[in-house]
Each structure stands twice: as C-alpha cells, then as structure tokens.
C-alpha cells in the first residue's frame, strides 16, 4: 500500500557522514532550488510543484512531494496556488536521476501555452482529506516547518525553514539562531535522533561545520 502523500518517515540511522560535496550541494538550500514541500496555509498539505512544459501538446513537468511520486494523481482535484482547482491525468515518470520528477497532463490543458501558465504553480490538498498519520515516526513534512532545532545539550542552534529532497532523501534546511545563511542537514536518525513535534522542537547532532561558509575556490587562493 502506498504511503500517505505529504508524509514522511525517517530511514535507517546512518553512522557515516555525507561527503562534504553532497552536503554542500544539498545546501543549495532551496536556493537555487524549488520551493519547500510545505504549504503557507496550515490547512493544506503541499503535494507538488509544476515546472517547464514538455512538448507542444499540454504536457508539463511536475515535481511530486508524495512518498510515492505517482500517487499524487490519485487524490482527485487539488488546490492550485493560482486559485484554480486542477486534476492530473496521464502521469508518468520523467526518467533521469530524480524519481520525484514526473511528466503529467492536466485536465483542460491541451497546448503549450496552457502548460507554460502552470510553471511554478503548486498543488496542495486539504489536510483533513489525508486523515491522521500512522505511527509515532510518521508525520506530514509541513509539520516540521518552524520547529526549533536544539543540540543534545539543549542549546538552540536554529529553526527549520524547509524540508527539501533532491533525490537522495529528505533534508532539513535550518536557519541558524545567530543569523546568516541557512544550511541543510540530512534527515536521518543519526543526524536527528529525536523529534518532538508537539513540543515544537527537534534534537539534532549536526557536524561542527554545519553553518561554516564554503572555503575559497582554488582560483581565489592568494598563495
């Protein structure tokens, strides 16, 4: 049975840290990347976001935020961020390295200009239509947005502003409490051992250089 759209459950704990390149590339914290998988309306759960048109006959790319990407087509009419109600049809994987990228057709959209008008439009579903999550380690991704992040000593290190996924698993985009650029932390039990959504916080075990600025490029080295 497909897992609930817009929900998540952390994978197995990892004892190894990601290579610096992977963390840094993930730290393209939604920047420059798609909007985070959370809806500004707490009554809605964000399910996907349209991208560029595909071909000339109304097909369009869609980034799915559901646990099973193709499941986004099974929930009937969805709320669009431009005020419309849209329904998906003819959904298929786009191929390539991003399993959550789909090629879809939207009912009533039959040409490229209609597909172009969908670019950057998001799709959401009313939260009550999804029911309650199952199990203490399953939750809606939108519930993580705004949570305080503490270290194991109880010191506040920041807050969660987004939960992106670039194909390698969910990541927490964290804004540091001291200010400055955000950074991304792999959302596994090794890096995030404790969740207290009701209490408004998570406990993290981040690398020491989580908020460190990137080092100078070789061309910038004065030596």
Architecture of domain 136-209: Roll (2.30)
Six-digit token pair at 149? 């992040």
pLDDT of residue 141: 76
pTM assigned to the model? 0.59
How confident is the model over 186-220, as pLDDT tens digits? 999 999 999 998 899 999 999 999 998 766 655 54
Contact 177, 159 (CB under 8 A): yes
Distance of CA 195 to the CA centre of its chain: 18
Q: At 146, list the tokens.
A: 């705004």
168 Cβ contact list (under 8 Å, min separation 6):
22, 26
| pLDDT value at 85 more than 50 | yes
- The gap from C-alpha 162 to its chain's centroid, in whole angstroms, comes to 7
For domain 44-130, the CATH superfamily is: RimM (2.40.30.60)
Residue written as tokens 């986004």? 72
Q: How far is CA 9 from the centre of its chain?
A: 13
Instruction: For residue range 3-52, list pLDDT tens digits in order.
Output: 334 445 554 332 222 222 222 222 222 222 333 345 556 678 888 899 99
Q: What residue spans in the chain does CATH classification 2.30.30.240 cover?
A: 136-209
How many angstroms separate the CA atoms of 130 and 7, rounded? 10
**Cα-Cα-Cα-Cα dihedral of 95, 99, 100, 102, to 10°?**
20
Where is pLDDT greater, at 139 or 58? 58
* CATH 2.40.30.60 residue spans of the chain: 44-130
């Amino acid at each position: 049975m497909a897992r609930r759209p817009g929900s998540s459950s952390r994978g197995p704990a990892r004892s190894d840290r990601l290579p610096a390149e992977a963390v840094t590339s993930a730290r393209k914290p939604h920047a420059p990347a798609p909007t985070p998988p959370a809806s500004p309306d707490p009554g809605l759960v964000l399910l996907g976001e349209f991208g560029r048109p595909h071909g000339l006959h109304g097909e369009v790319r869609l980034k799915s935020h559901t646990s099973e990407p193709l499941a986004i087509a099974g929930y009937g009419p969805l709320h669009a961020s431009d005020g419309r109600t849209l329904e998906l049809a003819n959904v298929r994987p786009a191929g390539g390295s991003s399993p959550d990228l789909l090629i879809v057709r939207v009912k009533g959209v039959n040409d490229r200009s209609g597909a172009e008008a969908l670019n950057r439009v998001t799709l959401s579903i009313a939260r009550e239509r999804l029911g309650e999550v199952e199990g203490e380690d399953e939750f809606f991704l939108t519930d993580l947005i705004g949570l305080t992040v503490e270290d194991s000593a109880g010191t506040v290190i920041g807050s969660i502003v987004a939960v992106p996924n670039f194909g390698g698993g969910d990541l927490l985009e964290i804004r540091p409490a001291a200010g400055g650029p955000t950074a991304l932390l792999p959302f596994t039990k090794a890096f995030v051992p404790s969740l207290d959504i009701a209490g408004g916080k998570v406990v993290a075990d981040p690398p020491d250089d989580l908020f460190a600025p990137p080092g100078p490029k070789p061309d910038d080295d004065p030596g």
